[in-house]
Amino acid sequence: MSNHFYDQTFGRHADSDRIFLHTEDGDIRFDAFTAQSAQLANALVAAGLSASDRVAVQAEKSASLLALCAATMRAGGVYLPLNTGYMPVELDYFICDARPAIIIADPAATANIQPLADKIGATLFTLDAHGNGSLAAAAADTPKVFETVARGPDDLAAILYTSGTTGKSKGARLTHRNLASNAAVLADTWRFTDADVLLHMLPIYHTHGLFVACNLMAMVGGSMIFLPKFSVAAALRWMPRATSMMGVPTFYTRLLASDDFTGAATRHMRLFISGSAPLLAETHHQFAARTGQAILERYGMTETNMITSNPYDGDRRAGTVGLPLAGIDLRIADAETGTICADGEIGIIELRGDNVFQGYWEMPDKTAESFRDDGFFITGDMAVRDADGYISIVGRDKDMIISGGLNVYPREVESLVDDVAGVIESAVIGVPHPDFGEAVVAIVAADDGAVSPNDITAAVDGKLAKFKQPKAVRIVPSLPRNSMGKVQKAALRQTYAALFA
Ligand code: AMP
- Summarised one tens digit per residue, pLDDT across range 343-375 is 999 999 999 999 999 999 999 999 999 999 999
Ligand 1 centre and the CA of 240: distance in Å? Answer: 29
| Sequence-separated (6 or more) residues with CB below 8 Å from residue 389 | 323
Q: Are 126 and 133 in contact (CB under 8 A)?
A: yes
Cα 369 to Cα 165: distance, rounded to the nearest angstrom: 18
Cα 187 to Cα 277: distance, rounded to the nearest angstrom: 21
Ligand 1 centre and the CA of 13: distance in Å? Answer: 31
Cα 183 to Cα 48, 156, 210, 354: the distances in Å are 30, 16, 11, 11
Q: What is the mean pLDDT of residues 268-287?
A: 94
**CB of 321 sitting under 6 A from ligand 1:** yes
Q: What is residue 90's predicted lDDT score, i.e. its pLDDT?
A: 82
| Sequence-separated (6 or more) residues with CB below 8 Å from residue 55 | 44, 49, 68, 72, 77, 78, 79, 80, 100, 101, 102, 103, 104
Please count the residues of the chain.
501
**CB of 203 sitting under 6 A from ligand 1:** no
**CB of 278 sitting under 6 A from ligand 1:** yes
User: Nearest Cα to 78, choosing from 207, 188, 174, 9?
Assistant: 174
- Give the number of other Cβ atoms within 10 Å of residue 239's Cβ: 18
For 401-495, the fitting CATH number among 3.30.300.30, 3.30.565.10, 1.10.10.10, 3.90.1490.10 is: 3.30.300.30
What percentage of the chain reaches a pLDDT higher than 70? 99
- Summarised one tens digit per residue, pLDDT across range 294-323 is 999 999 999 999 999 999 999 999 999 999
**Domain assignments of the chain as residue spans, ordered by start:** 4-200, 230-396, 401-495
SS3 196: coil
Grade residue 166 by pLDDT with cuts at 50, 70 and 90: very low
Cα 424 to Cα 422: distance, rounded to the nearest angstrom: 6
**CB of 170 sitting under 6 A from ligand 1:** no
pLDDT surpassing 60 at residue 449: yes
Ligand 1 centre and the CA of 486: distance in Å? Answer: 8
Cα 96 to Cα 78: distance, rounded to the nearest angstrom: 16
Q: Parallel, antiparallel, or unpaired for β 78-81 and 54-58?
A: parallel
4-200: in CATH 1.10.287.3510: no
- Summarised one tens digit per residue, pLDDT across range 82-125 is 989 888 888 999 999 999 999 999 999 999 999 999 999 999 99
**CB of 216 sitting under 6 A from ligand 1:** no
SS3 385: strand
Q: Are 192 and 244 in contact (CB under 8 A)?
A: yes
Helix runs in 262-323, H state only: 263-266, 281-291
**CB of 284 sitting under 6 A from ligand 1:** no
Q: Which helix (H) or strand (E) holds 332?
A: strand 329-333
**CB of 58 sitting under 6 A from ligand 1:** no
| Sequence-separated (6 or more) residues with CB below 8 Å from residue 122 | 56, 95, 99, 100, 101, 102, 103, 116
Detail the DSSP E strand segments found in 166-248.
Answer: 171-175, 197-200, 223-226, 244-247
Strand partners of residue 377: 351, 371
230-396: in CATH 3.40.50.12780: yes
Q: What is residue 406's predicted lDDT score, i.e. its pLDDT?
A: 77
pLDDT surpassing 60 at residue 164: no
Q: What is residue 163's predicted lDDT score, i.e. its pLDDT?
A: 64
Cα 378 to Cα 283, 358, 382: the distances in Å are 29, 13, 10
Q: Are 133 and 105 in contact (CB under 8 A)?
A: no
The residue whose CB lies within 8 Å of the most ligand 1 atoms, and thus the one to mutate among 160, 304, 393, is 393
**CB of 379 sitting under 6 A from ligand 1:** yes
On the question of a common fold for 4-200 and 401-495, the answer reads no
**CB of 304 sitting under 6 A from ligand 1:** no
- Give the number of other Cβ atoms within 10 Å of residue 343's Cβ: 11
- Summarised one tens digit per residue, pLDDT across range 172-205 is 999 999 999 999 999 999 999 999 999 999 999 9
Q: Are 353 and 329 in contact (CB under 8 A)?
A: yes
| Sequence-separated (6 or more) residues with CB below 8 Å from residue 137 | none
- Describe the chain by its helix, strand, coil percentages, rounded to 5: 35, 25, 40
**CB of 484 sitting under 6 A from ligand 1:** yes
**CB of 357 sitting under 6 A from ligand 1:** no
The DSSP code for 22 is E
In this structure, the residue with its CA closest to atom 23 of ligand 1 is 277
**CB of 22 sitting under 6 A from ligand 1:** no
Q: What is residue 167's predicted lDDT score, i.e. its pLDDT?
A: 57
**CB of 211 sitting under 6 A from ligand 1:** no
Q: What is the residue type of 386? A: D
Q: What is residue 302's predicted lDDT score, i.e. its pLDDT?
A: 95
Detail the DSSP E strand segments found in 153-304.
Answer: 156-161, 171-175, 197-200, 223-226, 244-247, 271-274, 296-301
Report the nearest atom of ligand 1 relative to the CA of 208.
4
In this structure, the residue with its CA closest to atom 8 of ligand 1 is 276
Ligand 1 centre and the CA of 379: distance in Å? Answer: 10
Cα 51 to Cα 45: distance, rounded to the nearest angstrom: 9
pLDDT surpassing 50 at residue 165: no
Ligand 1 centre and the CA of 108: distance in Å? Answer: 32
- Looking at every residue in the chain, the average pLDDT score rounds to 95
pLDDT surpassing 50 at residue 424: yes
Detail the DSSP E strand segments found in 376-471.
Answer: 377-385, 391-396, 401-403, 406-408, 423-433, 437-446
